[in-house]
Structure 1
Amino acid sequence: MVAEQVSGRGAGRRRGPGVGCGSVASGLAALGLTVALAGAAAAQDAAGAGAPAAAGAPIRLQLNRLEASGEACRATVVIDNLKGGAIKSYKVDLFAFDTEGVAQKRVAVELGPLPARKTTVKLFDFAGLTCPKIGRVLLNDVLACEGGEGGREGCLERTETETKAGVPLDR
Structure 2
Amino acid sequence: MLCLIILNDYVTSLVPKDGPLLGNMYKEIEDFLKEEAKNPIPFFSTTVLLAPICEEVLFRGIILNGMLKNKIHPIKAILFSSFLFGITHMNPWQFLGGILIGSFIGFIYFITSSIIDCILLHVFNNAFAIFTMFFFMKNEETLSKQKNFNFWLILIISFTIIMGCVFLFKKRRKK
Rg larger for: 1
TM-score range, shorter chain: under 0.3
Higher strand share: 1
Higher helix share: 2
TM-score, normalised to structure 1, is 0.23
Higher relative contact order (CA 8 A, sep 6+): 2
